[in-house]
Structure 1
Amino acid sequence: MGDIFVPMILMVVIFYFLLIRPQTKREKDRRKMVDALKSGDSVVTRGGVVGSVQSVKDTTVSIRSLESKFEVEKHAIERVIADKSDLKDKK
């Protein structure tokens, strides 16, 4: 009977280290990135829009892209770009 539990426990441990732990780390890094947003940051939204952050509110961010200014939810920000070469590297 005890022989059955060892492989099951081993599978749970493997599952944790392969799936749950990396996802938790990604969520933590993403939360840190969103919390660090500030005016002037260049960002890319999940929809692919590249723009500059104009203002940051509790749950939304105002972005200026070319001649347009719009407001998106913070969770819609995919990444912050340091300079234009970052855009070319991702393609």
Structure 2
Amino acid sequence: MFVTPAYAQAAGAAPGGGINDILIQLMPILLLVVIFWFLIFRPQQKRLKAQQAMLASIKRGDTVVSTGGIIGKVTKAVDGEDLEIEIATGIKVKLVRGMVADVRSKGEPVNDNKPA
């Protein structure tokens, strides 16, 4: 009495449509990959290349800042990986080249943050 009769529907398209359906389903994933590439991976690669170029260009007389915050002047390159820096008059320490955070030019003053 309350049930309506069910009518058969016309035959639809075969399941597992064409290549267009697959591409439409993969578009959001491909879009995310492109966004990640341009916003994360590409800038990181540029920073890495700039860091490597900076480390390769360190020479005697440059003022360097270590990742620990120690500021000193390069007195000599001990070998390919180590640097000898002078942090105070007569006080020299060895520093691994990879731990250099910044290279300052010879003429750039060091900001000691001393009160005026």
Task: Answer 1 or 2: which has greater strand percent.
Answer: 1
Q: CA deviation at 1:85?
A: 5.8
* Aligned structure 1 segments of 4 or more residues deviating by more than 4 angstroms: 85-88
Partner deviation per Cα, 1:51-70 (whole Å, 9 max, x = no partner): 00011221111100113101
Contact 1:81 1:87 in 2 (8 A): no
Deviates more, 1:65-74 or 1:37-46: 65-74
Q: Where does structure 1 lack aligned partners over 5 or more consecutive residues?
A: none
1:1-91 paired onto structure 2 within 5 Å = 1-56=22-77, 57-67=79-89, 68-82=91-105, 83-84=108-109
Tell me, in whole angstroms, the C-alpha distance in 1 between the residues paired with 2:93 and 2:56.
Answer: 19
Number of aligned positions between the proteins: 88
Letter in 1 for 2:81: T
Letter in 2 for 1:64: E
Deviates more, 1:50-59 or 1:77-86: 77-86
TM-score by length of 1: 0.88
Change (3 A) 1:66 1:16: same
Pairwise CA RMSD: 1.6
TM-score by length of 2: 0.70
Tell me, in whole angstroms, the C-alpha distance in 2 between the residues paired with 1:9 and 1:86.
Answer: 47
Which has the greater radius of gyration?
A: 2
Letter in 2 for 1:50: I
With CA pairs under 8 Å and 6+ residues apart, which has the higher RCO, 1 or 2?
1
Q: CA deviation at 1:48?
A: 0.5
SS in 2 for 1:84: coil
Task: Answer 1 or 2: which has greater helix percent.
Answer: 1
